[in-house]
Amino acid sequence: MITLEGSVENIVFRNEDNHYTVARFRLSGSGKLFRDDLTTIVGVLPGVHTGELLSVEGEWEHDPRYGRQLHITNFTQRLPSSPEGIMRYLSSGLIKGIGPKKASLIVDQFGEQTLAILEQQPERLSEVKGLSVRDRNQIVHTWLEQSEIKELHLFLQSHEVSLNMATRVYKQYGRDSINVIRENPYQIAADVSGVGFRTADEIALKLGLPFDSIPRLASGIKYVLAQAANDDGHCYLPERDLLTRAVEALHVPSETLSGALEAVANDKDLFIEQPLQGNSNTESEHPQEGSHSEERHIYYAPFWYAESGSTRLLRLQLRAPSCLPLVSHQLWENVFQLLQQRRNMLLTEMQRTAVQQAYTQKVSILTGGPGTGKSTSIRALLMLLRNRKVRVALAAPTGRAAKRLSEAAGTQGTALEARTLHRLLEYTPHDNSYQRNEDNPLPYQFVIVDEFSMVDILLFYNLLKALPRDAHLLLVGDADQLPSVGPGNVLRDLLKNSELPIVRLTELFRQAQQSHIIVNAHQINNGVMPSLKVERQSDFFFMHEEDPLRGQQLILDLVKRRLPARYHFDALTDIQVLAPMYKGEIGVTMLNMRLQESLNPSSFAQVEWGDRIFRVGDKVMQTHNDYDKGVFNGDVGWIRSINKENSTLKVEFVEEAGPLFVSYEFHELDELVLAYAVTVHKSQGSEYPVVIVPLYREHRALLQRNLLYTAITRAKRFCVLVGQPQALEMAVRNDRVALRNTALAQRLEQILQGRR
């Protein structure tokens, strides 16, 4: 890290939206490292103007076009003190309408005291001959605004908040930024993307907020509940678990937290509830060790509203009359005969039941593994609905899943093309709401949602709110896959309820039986070790390699050389590596670094951000929902351009409606990670021509049957497992499903049976 001191000679370039600046910098002292003591500095430099004195920290970098320059990571501002410096400062464009001539008038009048007078006695500008009232008002207004920006950055720098984060805070609150932070530092954690509770808590404590104050403890409790939802998928925490986590996060005694919990019991952001009666939550899952079923359940409000609201709306949906015309027994027979004769679709008895049930029942579920005929059942149902002129909508949780549904249902390029649920519900990012709701329901008589295992409780609640009461809803998914990334375990909870119409497809079709991927996936799902016998025409291989480092090299060779050479797969677009964990030699992080080095080693444009390097051509993934941009956690795209002058990077995402180009400012790059390798969890809803999965004992914490099953079923044409047979066996035998704290199943059990 290099530290330099000097003054800003002139601003070469500035992006006013993100404050990315290129400036010429005159070094202080006698050292002549550069001709005329001028060098180029670049970086996010909000509020910096010509003439200012700066102490800067950064790293040297070489730009092919502009040569050697210092990339600034931190800086401290000092106002100029000499009349010459002050005049350059005021005439730099800092104040609109004030150029060198008017700046000279002001400095000639006040000399070295100019800036002090602007700060403390701005009314004295009336003493300057040649300045109009309008000029004086403009100077006072702009100076005040600039002072607020500077004060915010200096204030946040003192709390070790990065310049990028400070810029985000100012964008959120403007001139009220410091007041908001001082009144409630925890507000920035709720409002500003990238600012977590830890940062807000450090600021609060430095501002003197008592360690055991109720505002701090209440914010900490909400933080723990939000983390439990984000990290573990819990809708609530049992009281003892909540207190244990909060003690660790807040470093206060459990007794103090218990008192705080009672003090905020009526807080609108929290719900405290006695456990509901019913056995649904543990029917087929292993309870967590040390769980306490009689403890109170503590909910973060959005999840309580979503659970209880979903239950209420499901009951209304089931009890409301249907809008669909009746179909006689004879008509059903005619429908199935016509499907066989005209479409060559011979449905099994279970598929027939699925189609009939979806048409006759207001809410129904169709579940089953790959190759069991879910897509064929959907196509058959759609033919009937279109014949009966029923208004239908097809939807899925992600763009990738929606695209697959359109392909499977044969609706690509038609009015029936599938959409994401966010698009269907008309999500508006500016106010984080859905335009389709109970007051403005969807204009459809039938809604089909595929890949429903990916739908979390919040999205499900919003779907039910938008569904007309007389409409039908068919939920299609594979309950044996991993649950949603977001909180809840909706599909599993619904499948536990005996009151809901459910069809489970289990029979493998002949075509599916010819795929070793599908056959082995079903074997694994049944707890049976897959066949590892090597067959020349197989689409499924296990490659034994005990050493993780050699396993890494084998994966690199498979991606770059072997699979493209033998099977003509494209190394960059066809092959996806799916790893159980981030850490280790064969974890996601290391594999991404090595795969980038191998597949995209250099580019005409790249940007370093923290410990990451992004290059044009890189495959990247969005890491959290960004509703303003319209991209969501797990979306994968390709970097198409990097513009250092504008400090922006453009990514192309594949959406159901076609390519979506999204621009990122450099300070937003923490939203992106390389995606040559991704976790199995992040791959949900996707399908890839080729999947490579490393399996090693060092991943034992996540070697679970449903994780391996999910990974294998992402492969469309080819699947390769690399690693240790013992690790594969561990995954197949481990049917333990991590329990998520949800009460949707119990709520449904009680309300549908009339007990609540």
Residue 490: what pLDDT? 96
Coil/strand/helix, residue 73: strand
Q: What is the pTM of this model?
A: 0.76
Q: What is the pLDDT of residues 377-395, one digit of tens each?
A: 999 999 889 888 999 999 9
CA 73 to CA 584: how far, in whole Å? 29
Given a cut of 60, is residue 33 above it in pLDDT? no
Per-position b or e across 230-263, b if 16+ CB within 10 A of its CB: eeebbbbbbbebbbbbbbebbebeeebbeebbee
Least confident of 33-37, 420-424, 498-502, 736-740: 33-37
Q: What mean pLDDT do residues 102-115 have? A: 88
Residue 9: what pLDDT? 83
The Cβ-side half-sphere exposure at 261, using a 13 Å CA radius, reads 27
Residue 350: what pLDDT? 94
CA 448 to CA 434: how far, in whole Å? 19
CA 364 to CA 313: how far, in whole Å? 14
pLDDT confidence bin for 281, thresholds 50/70/90: very low
The better pLDDT of the pair 16, 305 is held by: 305
Residue 101: what pLDDT? 84
pLDDT confidence bin for 453, thresholds 50/70/90: very high
CA 98 to CA 284: how far, in whole Å? 74
Q: Which residues are annotated as a binding site for ATP?
A: 371-375
How many C-beta atoms surround the C-beta of residue 72 within 10 A?
23
Q: What mean pLDDT do residues 240-260 have? A: 91
DSSP assignment, residue 30?
S
Residue 357: what pLDDT? 94
Given a cut of 60, is residue 30 above it in pLDDT? no
pLDDT confidence bin for 158, thresholds 50/70/90: low
Instruction: Count H helices and E strands in the chain, helices first.
Output: 27, 28
pLDDT confidence bin for 167, thresholds 50/70/90: low
The better pLDDT of the pair 362, 199 is held by: 362
Residue 610: what pLDDT? 65
Residue 172: what pLDDT? 83
Q: What mean pLDDT do residues 108-134 have? A: 87
Averaged confidence pLDDT in the chain: 85
Q: What mean pLDDT do residues 248-257 have? A: 90
Q: What mean pLDDT do residues 288-307 have? A: 79
Residue 31: what pLDDT? 44
Residues near 422 by beta carbon (within 8 Å), at least 6 away in sequence: 632
How many C-beta atoms surround the C-beta of residue 169 within 10 A?
23
Q: What is the pLDDT of residues 667-716, one digit of tens each?
A: 788 889 999 999 998 888 788 999 999 999 988 878 899 999 999 999 99
54-58, 241-245, 650-654 — most confident range:
241-245
Residue 65: what pLDDT? 67
Q: What mean pLDDT do residues 21-28 have? A: 86
Given a cut of 60, is residue 290 above it in pLDDT? no
Given a cut of 90, is residue 628 above it in pLDDT? no
Residue 96: what pLDDT? 62
Given a cut of 80, is residue 51 above it in pLDDT? no
Per-position b or e across 687-707, b if 16+ CB within 10 A of its CB: bbbbbbbbbbebbeebbbbbb
Q: Which residues are annotated as a binding site?
A: 371-375
Residue 278: what pLDDT? 61
pLDDT confidence bin for 163, thresholds 50/70/90: low
Residue 756: what pLDDT? 42
pLDDT confidence bin for 26, thresholds 50/70/90: confident
Residue 410: what pLDDT? 82
Beta strand spans in 125-200 (E): none
Q: What is the pLDDT of residues 176-205, one digit of tens each?
A: 888 888 888 888 887 886 677 888 888 888
Residue 245: what pLDDT? 94
Q: What is the pLDDT of residues 642-663, one digit of tens each?
A: 987 667 899 998 765 678 899 9
Coil/strand/helix, residue 642: strand
Q: Which two tokens stand for residue 44?
A: 């996010």
The Cβ-side half-sphere exposure at 641, using a 13 Å CA radius, reads 10
Residues near 142 by beta carbon (within 8 Å), at least 6 away in sequence: 94, 95, 96
Q: What mean pLDDT do residues 551-556 have? A: 96
Least confident of 12-16, 317-321, 556-560: 12-16
- Using alpha carbons, list the distances in angstroms from residue 718 to 75, 511, 518, 522, 599: 52, 16, 11, 16, 20
20-27 and 38-44 beta bridge pairing: antiparallel
